[in-house]
Structure 1
Amino acid sequence: MSTTAVLIQAVIGLLLLAAAWLTPSFTLATLPFGVRVPSERVQEPVVTEQRRAYRWWIALAGSTVLAAGTAWGLGTDATAAAPVTLVAVLTVQLAGYLRAHRAIAAVKQREEWFGGLRQGVAADTSLRTDPARFPWPWALPAVLLTLGTAVAGVVRYPSMPAQLAMHFNGPGQADRLAAKSVGTAFAPVFAQLGTTLLLLLVSWLSFRARPELDPARVKVTADQHRRFLARMARCLMALTFAADLTIALFGWRIWDGARALSPLPLMLPVALALAVVLVVALRSGQHGSRIPVAEPAEPADSADSAGTAPALVHRDDDRYWRLGGLFYLNRADSAAFVPKRFGVGWTINLGSPYGMLFVALTIALAVGLPLLTH
């Protein structure tokens, strides 16, 4: 592999490891490694121990795997070195997460942490009557860039070479050519269109996802949810623009007849956008839990009513989360998207028809776009 390709592999691997190491810092205290726990149990020894063990595992095992993969890429011409190394890094992260999840879940079940607690689900009707507004103006740069690339393609189509490079290997050399046609010449535009529509759809649907509200702090967590939606939507729009910019740079080089590309400058916009997303996610916390919001004033008679009923805690819903809290399947839940248990963002309810429809559309888009270039 070329030195540039190995450098990209190493940078992506380091970003993955950094994100994994930092994730416990902005995950909700009541959801350590995807396990729902009562607020009074967040400082249990097993939680603290597994958080520390997970970070040591990510630092040592992850860096070892990344170093070995980088050495493999520098010492050979194997194009498989980069994808295999990154998959190995992700596998290390998954193994560390699952080990921590199982350890905490086992202690929780053995000691019956939710035993005797009053469980419930909270709702804030204002999220429906006065929903958060989607920041549509932030989508304008990506849309205009896609339109601009399409216009540039139309203008340059007559002067494009008869054979266009459609795929590049790890070192950046063209390894597949195709005759010029509408499908091959405008493949970058189709890719931009698909990327823009998909990320816009994900951002828009996130505003209709079920919020993660704390029954003991409904108003505060609802306000945090609103602000978090706005922040993450803007981040996704910035990421969409960065991805479209990378695709545009890639397309313009193809239209010039380039048979070799340096991948590093092409990937720079996406790398910078991902770094911004990571910083915003860290500052916001999971579901916006670190966003400062003014606490509502307690009613005057709160002291008199205190102690009349046990405090309400979030329902223990671990049974709906499969494979260590990575996948959500609840046919009784009408929401197509729900907050993730570990990390920032949303995941699909595999028990919802609308969730499965989104999965089918995503697969169709991934399969259909390459077919347009043939």
Structure 2
Amino acid sequence: MTLTIFFFISLIIAGIQTAIPFLVNRSVIFGVTIPEKHLQNETLLAYKKNYAKLVGLLSIILLAGYALWSLIQTATEEQIVIGGILLEFVIILFSFSLYFYYHGKTLKLKADKQWTGNLKQIRVADLSARSRDEMLPWQVFLLPIIITVGVIGYTLLKYDLLPQQIPTHWGPNGQPDAFTEKTLMSSILMPLTLFVMQLMFLGIHLGTKKSGIKLSGESTEASRQRQLALRKYSSWLMFFVSFLITVLLSFFQLQIIHPDIISATAMFAIPLGFLVIILVSTIVFAVRVGRSDKFTIETTEEKLTDSDDTHWKGGLFYFNKNDPSIFVEKRFGVGWTINFANPIGYLIIFVPLIAILVFSFL
């Protein structure tokens, strides 16, 4: 079953990495802004197809090799886990290597063809877009937080029922395989870590909601549709993931207090079901956002928005101290990335992570 889990995860990763060039903002190819009239350039289309073919082919070879190796060699569970992690790492590393290769070629093609040399630089503002924003209200993120606070309180009330060895990790079979001595901190470590994660989710949601809705000067309606879809579906996905993680870890916490609350079979099935739901939800999110601007055709005066390539390093890292947005849409991938010139983003992401690391060593 461990082989099935890692094979399934690797297959999803391979599929997403293969399809990324066709899911990103249509006016951005390998992290480079391309004017609307040149999006169907044969060379650019060939770059995208070649990337997808190479990533897809390597993924098929690696996945087949991983499955055959695990079955023929009768690998141990530990070997399967290590092999699965290496497989995922190689697929991601190869896809990013190809991304940087085609990013450089796309930049060179854009410069050689002088596609933006004579375009008018403009700023695009649409005050009506906010009224169409369907992001979830921040208050819904309080629901998992309230559940976690309740679990922490219940754990403290039932402290005497806890075993002397507190489980800290569960294996692929759903059974605990690592323990620590019972203390007040170790008894609530899992829900406390969950609480910090929930605060981070809430912070990301608030930062995303306050970030600007960035529109293209050439395809205003298409970019508006994509931005609104990204904001709507990412808020739902973030809440859904936060809620599912809350249910899963709260269940594990209650199982520590009441070991007979559920059978060993269910302990194995529940995390597996959780993983499947998260992966499927991520795929649905990527497809819905990725296709949100694909069928809008606009013919407007050639213009170039002033947020083009200058603020993106390698097409992946966004630095713009004049932009108050904390998070912006990724240029390679589907979702959000930090405005690395805005220190609030660092606080939202890294402070909770540091707090979790500190808790784990207490």
Unpaired segments ≥5 residues, structure 2: none
Match of 1:139 in 2: 141
Match of 1:320 in 2: 311
267 and 353 in structure 1: CA distance in 2 versus 1, 3 angstrom threshold = same
CA contact (8 A) 1:191 1:247 kept: no
CA contact (8 A) 1:38 1:114 kept: yes
1:196-235 correspondence to structure 2 within 5 Å: 196-218=198-220, 221-222=223-224, 224-235=226-237
Q: In the alignment, is residue 334 of structure 1 matched against residue 324 of structure 2?
A: yes
CA distance in structure 2 between the aligned counterparts of 1:330 and 1:194, rounded to whole angstroms: 28
Give the TM-score normalised by the residue count of structure 1. 0.82
Give the TM-score normalised by the residue count of structure 2. 0.84
Deviations along 1:248-284, whole A, 9 cap, x unmatched? 23333344469x9965531422431331232133123
Match of 2:238 in 1: 236
Q: 1:119 aligns with which of 108, 118, 121?
A: 121
Matched-pair identity in %: 22
CA distance in structure 1 between the aligned counterparts of 2:248 and 2:66, rounded to whole angstroms: 25
1:9-20 correspondence to structure 2 within 5 Å: 9-20=6-17
Q: SS of the counterpart of 2:218?
A: coil
1:280-295 correspondence to structure 2 within 5 Å: 280-285=285-290, 288-289=292-293
263 and 10 in structure 1: CA distance in 2 versus 1, 3 angstrom threshold = farther
Q: In the alignment, is residue 347 of structure 1 matched against residue 337 of structure 2?
A: yes
1:82-231 correspondence to structure 2 within 5 Å: 82-126=84-128, 134-136=136-138, 138-168=140-170, 174-218=176-220, 221-222=223-224, 224-231=226-233
Q: 1:274 aligns with which of 254, 276, 279?
A: 279
1:358 Cα shift? 3.2
1:31 Cα shift? 0.4
Q: SS of the counterpart of 2:61?
A: helix
CA distance in structure 2 between the aligned counterparts of 1:82 and 1:369, rounded to whole angstroms: 29
Q: Decide which moves more: 330-339 or 178-187.
A: 330-339
246 and 129 in structure 1: CA distance in 2 versus 1, 3 angstrom threshold = closer
Provide the aligned length of Structure 1 versus Structure 2. 353
Q: SS of the counterpart of 1:113?
A: coil
Q: Decide which moves more: 265-274 or 196-205.
A: 265-274
Unpaired segments ≥5 residues, structure 1: 299-305
Q: SS of the counterpart of 2:179?
A: strand
CA contact (8 A) 1:338 1:348 kept: yes
CA contact (8 A) 2:26 2:294 kept: no
Q: Decide which moves more: 9-18 or 150-159.
A: 150-159
277 and 175 in structure 1: CA distance in 2 versus 1, 3 angstrom threshold = closer
Q: Decide which moves more: 34-43 or 111-120.
A: 111-120
Q: SS of the counterpart of 2:180?
A: strand
CA distance in structure 1 between the aligned counterparts of 2:295 and 2:197, rounded to whole angstroms: 29
CA contact (8 A) 1:160 1:255 kept: yes
366 and 161 in structure 1: CA distance in 2 versus 1, 3 angstrom threshold = closer
CA contact (8 A) 1:138 1:238 kept: no
CA contact (8 A) 2:14 2:55 kept: yes
Q: In the alignment, is residue 62 of structure 1 matched against residue 65 of structure 2?
A: no
1:245 Cα shift? 2.0
Aligned Cα root-mean-square deviation (Å): 3.2
